[in-house]
């Protein structure tokens, strides 16, 4: 029972992070390798707003969420915008550069000590009993938050005007642009949403375990979840997150705790051998000259 609870929390973490990878890849075919850092930036954003709006935790959370969204738009507006039309290679290299820049800047700005934004908000991380398992309040929020985010994204992508434009741009950018879809706006929105969800993941993990440099590694470990499910499928990201999380928790528990960092990548390699486009991903179309 405890194992199931652990798997659920880890799967929620991976799913929440992975949907950022999927959103950006699906819309602009760019693999964002700065996602772990952007996630960490979201966590630090919460720490800052928590100390700014001490005593008003809800205001602090809303402000940090808005901040994460704004950072996403900024990343596109300042950097990734210039990479549209360049090769995908250049765009991916740009995200690597952005990641290392952010990592250095964050250490300079916030130091290397572990921070606990939950204290700043004035809340405690209570332990809640569900059946025979115990789960932390932040962990439970993570699971519920992830479910809410996926529900909202599903409705957004299928029912709203902007969501449909987003899917169109992902399917065929040229055709979408010719039908009057503003690609820059769509791409900026994708980056904004991805950073927002990633930032949310960062904030919730920070509430649970504090902000540490390992947060970036968690961001990278969520990438296999996105790929196992299929890089262009949100449903796949959810399924992939469950698979990777289950494999990780079970192997740590029954085999060796040191395996934690490698299990997701084992799963990833296995998937690349068996079905490289992922469980729910679309197989790439024929390339015509």
Give the CA angle between residues 200, 203, 205 to the nearest 5°.
105
Give the CA angle between residues 269, 265, 45 to the nearest 5°.
140
Total number of residues that touch another protein (CB under 8 A):
48
The footprint of another protein on residues 260-289 (CB under 8 A) is 261-262, 265-266, 268-269, 272-273, 276-277, 284, 287-289
Over 32-101, what HEC string results?
A: CCCHHHHHHHHHHHHHHHHHHCCCCHHHHHHHHHHHHHHHHHHHHHHHHHHHCCCCHHHHHHHHHHHHHH
Residue 267: CB minimum distance to another protein, A: 9
The footprint of another protein on residues 82-101 (CB under 8 A) is 82-83, 86-90, 92-94, 96-101
The footprint of another protein on residues 207-246 (CB under 8 A) is 220, 223-224, 227
Residue 183: CB minimum distance to another protein, A: 19
Rounded alpha-carbon distances, angstroms, from residue 119 to 50, 55, 136, 239, 263: 9, 11, 15, 33, 32
Q: Is residue 255 involved in binding another protein (CB under 8 A)?
A: no
Residue 80: CB minimum distance to another protein, A: 10
Give the CA angle between residues 109, 142, 114 to the nearest 5°.
30
Which of the stretches 46-54, 114-122, 238-246, 256-264 binds another protein when contact is defined by CB under 8 A? 256-264
**Considering only residues 56, 103, 183, 235, which one is a binding residue for another protein as defined by CB under 8 A?**
103
- What is d(CA 203, CA 206) in angstroms, rounded to the nearest whole number? 5
Residue 281: CB minimum distance to another protein, A: 10
Residues within the interface to another protein (CB under 8 A): 29, 31, 33, 79, 82-83, 86-90, 92-94, 96-105, 107-108, 111-112, 220, 223-224, 227, 258-259, 261-262, 265-266, 268-269, 272-273, 276-277, 284, 287-289
């Amino acid at each position: 029972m405890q194992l199931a609870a652990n798997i659920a929390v880890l799967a929620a973490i991976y799913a929440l992070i992975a949907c950022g990878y999927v959103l950006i890849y699906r819309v602009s075919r760019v693999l964002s390798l700065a996602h772990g850092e952007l996630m960490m930036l979201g966590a630090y954003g919460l720490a800052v707003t928590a100390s700014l709006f001490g005593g008003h935790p809800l205001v602090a959370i809303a402000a940090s969420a808005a901040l994460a969204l704004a950072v996403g738009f900024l990343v596109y507006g300042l950097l990734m915008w210039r990479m549209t039309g360049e090769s995908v290679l250049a765009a991916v290299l740009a995200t690597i550069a952005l990641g290392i820049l952010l990592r250095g800047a964050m250490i300079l700005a916030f130091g290397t000590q572990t921070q606990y934004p939950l204290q700043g908000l004035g809340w405690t991380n209570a332990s809640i009993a569900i059946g025979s398992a115990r789960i932390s309040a932040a962990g439970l929020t993570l699971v519920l938050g992830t479910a809410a985010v996926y529900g909202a994204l599903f409705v957004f992508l299928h029912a709203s005007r902007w969501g449909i434009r987003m899917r169109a741009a992902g399917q065929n950018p040229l055709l979408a642009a010719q039908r009057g879809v503003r690609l820059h706006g769509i791409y900026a929105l994708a980056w904004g949403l991805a950073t927002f969800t990633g930032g949310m993941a960062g904030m919730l993990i920070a509430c649970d375990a504090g902000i540490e440099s390992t947060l970036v590694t968690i961001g990278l470990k969520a990438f296999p979840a996105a790929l196992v499910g299929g890089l262009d499928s949100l449903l796949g990201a959810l399924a992939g997150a469950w698979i990777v999380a289950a494999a990780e928790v079970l192997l740590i528990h029954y085999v060796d705790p040191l395996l934690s960092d490698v299990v997701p990548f084992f799963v990833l390699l296995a998937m690349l051998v068996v079905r490289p486009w992922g469980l729910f991903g679309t197989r790439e179309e024929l390339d015509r000259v």
